[in-house]
């Protein structure tokens, strides 16, 4: 198992390096001069000397490979540069907002799992009955509704019927966990619903497939009770494709947060990303894409470890 973990960790290094290289060169081949645009946006016609001195100040006058080397060494030391809008280190700007984004994402994921595993299993076990139809309708609703629209809808429902909205500000997990939960619950529901819907369908299909496997038939023939068969044999064997989907969907969930944070006025990196795009703040954009990549790689590593824990064949291979 330890060898497996180490090999997966080592494999993630070239993945991150590849993504970092792609981000750096893609942003550097974009048309237009970011420095000139920034100076012109501040007013007047910047002289070529001013543009040159600003480029020198930001280190953009050096050869591209030297800049690339600096970018990589910055990444290794958590130095992602400075925001051209606020003048603050990018790491500081992201660190301020990352906890909110991760908290919503994790809460949404937990909510989705809590809904999807039981409902997917029930739908699979009772497939082609009214229970299955009801659960499938619920899942189709989740896939069909855009998360941002569903978020706006539940916010309006809470406002109109209960005159309540999630509290404002930035409550801390340690100082005021209840307030934090109040703030994050609606956004987590808004994006967790879609996440759950996809997992329900995946879980249902897996359960139906596993229910027809020989070992389940054997368990039945041995006279084991249905509940025991489902808990001990069907659910663990149905979880593998669902876990794959959890990893893949987590990245999409982070993407959904870009809009959801705007809807619920949450101070997360999704909102920072939108602001950075509208202000052409390349350092922030680059930093956020890098952080999201790291999150995606880490989640998929965890998914791989979960496989190994659940399925001994992977560990042994």
Partner 1 sequence: MNLRHRLSTLVLATTIAATGTFSAIAQDQPKSGGTLRYAVSDDPADFDCHSANHFAALMRLAPHYSTLLRFKPGAYPEIDGDLAESWQADPATMSYTFNLRPGVKFHDGTPLTAKDVAATYERLAFPPEGVVSERIEAFRQIANIETVDDATVRFTLKAWDTSVLGTFASPWNCVYSAALLASDPDYPKRKVMGSGPYKFDDFVSGSVWKASRFDGYFRPGQPYLDALESYTMEGPAVANAIQAGQVATDFRGVSPASAERLKGAMGEGVAVESGPSLTHFLVTFNSTKRPFDDERVRRALNLAIDRWGAAKALGTTTEMRFPGGIFMPGGKFASSDEELKQFAGFGGDIEAARAEARRLLKEAGQENLTFNLTVRNGPPIVVDFGVFLIDQWRQIGVTANNQVVETPPWAAAINSGDFEAITDIYSALREEPTEQMTKYISYDQSARSAGRFTDRELDGLWTKQTTETDEAKRKELLRAFEKRLYEKSYSLPVVWLERDVAMASALRGWTFSPSNFLYLDQSSTWLAE
Using rule CB under 8 A, residue 42 touches partner 1: yes
Residues that contact partner 1, how many (by CB under 8 A): 41
Q: What is each CA distance from 198 to 65, 112, 140, in whole angstroms?
A: 43, 9, 8
Could you tell me where the DSSP H helices lie in the chain? Answer: 2-28, 34-42, 48-57, 64-76, 90-125, 130-144, 147-162, 177-211, 214-221, 226-229, 235-263, 269-278, 282-310, 312-316
Asked if 15 interacts with partner 1 (CB under 8 A), we say no
Q: Name the minimum Å distance from CB 68 to partner 1.
A: 24
Nearest CA to 315 out of 1, 77, 21 is that of 1
Minimum CB–partner distance for residue 106 and partner 1 (Å): 20
Contacts with partner 1, 79-108, as mask; x by CB under 8 A:
------xxx-----x--xx-----------
Of 23 and 152, CB closest to partner 1: 152
| Minimum separation from the CB atom of position 90 to partner 1 (A) | 12
CA-based nearest residue to 254, from 104, 80, 71: 104
x/- mask, partner 1, residues 273-302, rule CB under 8 A, reads: --x-xxxx----------------------
Centre a 10 Å sphere on the Cβ of residue 89 and count the other Cβ atoms it contains.
Answer: 17
272 binds partner 1 (CB under 8 A): yes
| Residues in 142-171 that interact with partner 1 by CB under 8 A | 152, 155-156, 159-160, 163-165, 167-170
Distances (CA, A) of 146 to 133, 216, 254: 22, 38, 14
Q: Which is nearer to partner 1, 94 or 210 (CB)?
A: 94
What residues make contact with partner 1 under the rule CB under 8 A?
32, 36-45, 85-87, 93, 96-97, 152, 155-156, 159-160, 163-165, 167-170, 262-265, 267, 271-272, 275, 277-280
């Amino acid at each position: 198992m330890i060898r497996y973990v180490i090999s997966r960790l080592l494999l993630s290094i070239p993945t991150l390096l590849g993504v970092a290289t792609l981000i750096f060169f893609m942003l550097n081949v974009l048309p237009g001069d970011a420095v000139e645009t920034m100076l012109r946006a501040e007013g007047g016609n910047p002289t070529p000397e001013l543009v040159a001195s600003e480029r020198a100040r930001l280190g953009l006058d050096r050869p591209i490979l030297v800049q690339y080397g600096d970018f990589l060494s910055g990444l290794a030391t958590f130095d992602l540069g400075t925001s051209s809008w606020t003048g603050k280190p990018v790491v500081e700007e992201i660190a301020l907002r990352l906890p909110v984004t991760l908290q919503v994402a994790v809460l949404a994921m937990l909510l989705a799992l809590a809904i999807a595993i039981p409902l997917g299993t029930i739908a699979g076990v009772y497939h082609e009955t009214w229970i299955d139809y009801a659960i499938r309708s619920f899942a189709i609703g989740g896939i069909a509704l855009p998360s941002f629209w569903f978020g706006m809808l539940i916010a309006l429902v809470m406002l109109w019927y209960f005159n309540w909205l999630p509290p404002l500000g930035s409550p801390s997990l340690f100082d005021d966990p209840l307030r934090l939960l109040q703030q994050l619950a609606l956004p987590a529901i808004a994006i967790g619903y879609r996440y759950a819907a996809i997992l329900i369908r995946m879980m249902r299909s897996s359960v139906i497939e596993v229910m027809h496997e020989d070992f389940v038939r054997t368990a039945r023939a041995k006279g084991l009770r249905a509940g025991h068969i489902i808990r001990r044999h069907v659910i663990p064997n149905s979880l593998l494709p669902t876990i794959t989907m959890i990893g893949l969907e987590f990245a999409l969930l982070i993407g959904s947060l870009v809009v959801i944070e705007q809807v619920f006025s949450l101070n997360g990196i999704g909102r920072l990303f939108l602001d950075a795009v509208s202000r052409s703040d390349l350092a922030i954009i680059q930093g956020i894409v890098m952080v999201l990549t790291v999150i995606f790689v880490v989640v998929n590593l965890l998914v791989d470890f979960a496989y190994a824990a659940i399925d001994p064949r992977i560990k042994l291979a």
